[in-house]
Amino acid sequence: MTLPSFVGPAVALAAGILILLKPDLLAKIVAIYLIVVGALGLLG
């Protein structure tokens, strides 16, 4: 399964914007980001 090369940076950008808008969600956003990047790394 091949994913487009923009998926990782797009997830990082979305996480950064969410952290700027809702700083109280930092821990959850970081955890979700790490899970997504890890899953993409294993699948890609």
Q: At 4, which amino acid appears?
A: P
**Residue 2: what pLDDT?**
66
What is the pTM (predicted TM-score) of this model? 0.63
Q: How far is CA 1 from CA 4, 33, 36, 39, 40, in A?
A: 10, 20, 15, 12, 10
pLDDT in tens, 1-44: 566 777 778 888 888 888 889 889 889 888 888 888 888 888 86
Predicted confidence at residue 1, as pLDDT, reads 56
pLDDT at 38: 84
Please report the pLDDT score of residue 4 as a whole number: 75
Q: In whole angstroms, how large is the CA radius of gyration of the chain?
A: 11
